[in-house]
Chain A
Amino acid sequence: MPKEKFDILESTCVPLPFDNVDTDQIIPARFLSATSREGFGDNLFRDWRYPKGGEKNSDFILNNTAYNGKVLVAGKNFGSGSSREHAVWAIYDYGFRAVISSFFADIFMNNALNNGLLPIVISEELLKKLQDLVVKRPDTKVKIDLDKQTFTIMSTGDSVRFNINSYKKECLLKGLDDIDFLLSLKNLITGYEAGKNLVK
């Protein structure tokens, strides 16, 4: 089933300068009782946006309306902990299309790539520079070119190449679906099963 394509994204950023943000913060467990993929954006970072279930916390950066955009600039080791893909759905549903960090947890990275949310790894130094810049200047814009695999901070001209495996890149560029791809391999899969059964 076709998905939204990702090729070039130019956007302002929202900074989240905390390290080791785990998926329990991104989407607390009590919101996992849903049976569909919609509506998770409302509960993104719920307990940081609305601490103690009460008023909006104006100190929390996501509640500061000066910052907006489709790019989330996160700290190191973003997305650690639980495998809940709901964390990615919440980030995507909220409006983000890319997350920038120097280090992502494995399961989160996979989940993100499977849902059209592009995780981009840059150096710790560049990440710090970007965070400081965005916090000071909310109008800072970045440009992500998936085909060229480049990430550019438009105001400073800093431009780096990021890694992504060719298969996932192809899927994102063309809006291709992993399951359609696997279904096309049915013969290979049943062939594998038959071969396995012969070798008892």
Chain B
Amino acid sequence: MEAKTLFDKIWDRHVVHSIEDGPDVLYIDRHYIHEVTSPQAFNGLKERGIPVFRPASTLATADHNIPTKDQHLQIRDLLSRNQVERLSENCAEYGIELYGLNHPDNGIVHVIGPELGFTQPGMTIVCGDSHTSTHGAFGTIAFGIGTSEVEMVLATQCILQPKPKKMKINVTGKLQKGVTSKDIIMYIISEISASGSTGYFVEYCGSAITSLSMEARMTICNMSIEMGARGGLIAPDETTFNYLRKLPLIPGIDDIESSVSQWKKLQSDTGAIFDRELEFDGGMIKPMITYGTNPGMGMAIDGSIPLSENRNSSEASSSYLKSLDYMDLKPGMKLLGHPIDYVFIGSCTNGRIEDFRAFAQIIRGRKKDDKVTALIVPGSKRVEEQMAAEGLTEIYKNAGFEVRQPGCSSCLAMNEDKIPPGKYAVSTSNRNFEGRQGPGARTLLASPLTAAAAAITGVISDPRQFISE
């Protein structure tokens, strides 16, 4: 029998029909929806006069457009309010479970899906959001889709998808102190560029990956899209099974050990062939920071901004210079010591309890710099509660940080959590595009540790100096 990759095993067993010289019709096990990319899809169903085919396989949340303060009050922005209400109406009409604003389990879609046990190994998972790749951490084929495809899945529980190529990324070695999974993925993207994996679905493996917790794995898979990958997965193992075992409830599963024995088979066979293989030494990775306007423009925290986007030349393209100009930074410049204005910790990339513990590790017993405005946004209501239960909220308060309520918040700044023009924000989110966090905002992507170090010093700082042995 031919040696198969895990990706092929999952993909092939979900193909309902293969179109000759065309896409595959792929069955979708889980469909996550939110308020921004679903309204037009539901309009389409209405126009066709058809129901949602499998409401029980669909889970909805309001996360992108909601405020992160005073959530008990009516949403002030009319368009946002309308969108969130529209989602509620649609879910009620079509029988979809909604973890909406003020629901006890509300939160960012890619944070609550795993919390609720809705994401399980071996599944195909989609959502109208490119960071759906997050769920790949459980050994799933999870990817982002457009609104027309949301409509396809609502109507038929299937999607038309061309099968991508396969890339293996092996990260060996052991992470240094102060280096996190966020730094791993930022390092990889800086090495291969924001389009380095376009056309591929990635499998991450190697000791630096398998030693990671589930939350740390989610951070890695989350940013697969930032190097152009269709998605990224990590084969399930005891770490995965233990995470799932600890959940109070897993939909559709009565006997977890029976499921575990099936999930153990979800591995790439020895000798399975990938279209491309890359290897990185995890032990060499340092805390990372971005300096430009795409996630590939990143470097080590103590590095100097490259003279050009091309390693072999010092002649920068006009696009590269335009990017640095937007950031008001110069080639050759060091970033350590550069003043910053805002710090944001949250998002589907780093909005989970371990991220807030990491941030707390550095701020504990210290104070937020007076010049810094901090946005502390838990990824979900459960994370918010756990922060309080563990005494983290108290640590944040004592250090001068206010913990907000869950939502996507400043990651894409659809709500009022916008970074003002020209201000520098060290952000644990996933994109530093021009204007992403607000028109004219200057985003510097980083890990929760690096963000914490910046928050207490008011400048870009190396988090390693704040971590005791």
Contact = CB atoms under 8 A, between A and B. Distances in A.
Given A167-B19, A192-B27, A80 B228 contact: yes
Nearest to B195: A77
A114 B194 contact: no
Contacts of B228: 77, 80, 105-106
Interface in A72-109: 75-77, 80-86, 88, 103, 105-107
Interface string A182-193: 110110110011
Nearest to B411: A29
Interface of A: 1, 18-20, 22, 24-25, 28-30, 32-37, 47, 52-53, 75-77, 80-86, 88, 103, 105-107, 110-111, 114-115, 165-168, 178-179, 181-183, 185-186, 188-189, 192-193, 196
A149 to B, nearest CB: 12
Contacts of A182: 25, 152, 155-156, 158, 160
Contacts of A185: 16-17, 25, 156, 158
B88 interface: no
A189 B157 contact: yes
A28 B431 CA distance: 13
A77 B196 CA distance: 10
Nearest to A77: B195
A9 to B, nearest CB: 21
Contacts of B25: 182, 185, 188-189
B47 A36 contact: no
Nearest to A114: B148
Q: Dominant SS at the B interface?
A: loop
Contacts of A181: 160
B27 A33 contact: no
A80 to B, nearest CB: 6
B386 interface: no
Contact of B155 (A47, A183, A188): A183
Contacts of B48: 1, 179
A29 B431 contact: no
What 7 A-B pairs have minimum CB-CB distances, sorted nearest first? A167-B22, A85-B146, A33-B79, A35-B39, A83-B144, A111-B146, A83-B130
A20 B195 CA distance: 9
Interface in B77-136: 77, 79-80, 82-83, 86, 128-130
Interface stretch (B202-210, B266-274, B387-395, B434-442): B434-442
Nearest to A186: B156
B250 interface: no
A170 B155 CA distance: 22
Chain B interface residue bracket vs A: 35 or more
A77 B146 contact: no
Contacts of A178: 148, 152, 160
Given A22-B294, A80-B294, A83-B146, A35 B152 contact: no
Contacts of B17: 185, 188
A106 B198 contact: yes
B286 to A, nearest CB: 25
A107 to B, nearest CB: 6
20 contacts: A24-B412, A24-B436, A33-B80, A36-B40, A75-B319, A80-B228, A84-B37, A103-B198, A106-B199, A107-B130, A110-B161, A114-B148, A115-B148, A165-B22, A168-B23, A182-B158, A183-B50, A192-B16, A193-B27, A196-B27
Given A1-B48, A24-B433, 17 more contacts: A24-B431, A25-B435, A33-B77, A33-B79, A33-B80, A36-B39, A36-B40, A80-B195, A81-B130, A83-B145, A106-B198, A106-B228, A167-B21, A168-B22, A188-B25, A189-B156, A189-B157
A77 B198 CA distance: 9
B433 A1 contact: no
A77 to B, nearest CB: 5
Among A19, A30, A34, A88, find the residue whose CB has the most chain B CB atoms closer than 10 A.
A30
B412 A29 contact: yes
A36 B43 contact: yes
Interface in B239-264: none
A178 B80 CA distance: 30
Interface in B9-36: 16-17, 19-23, 25, 27, 36
B323 to A, nearest CB: 9
Contacts of B156: 179, 182-183, 185-186, 189
Contacts of B130: 81-83, 107
Nearest to A85: B146
Interface string B185-221: 0000000001100110000000000000000000000
Interface string B149-179: 1011001111011101000000000000000
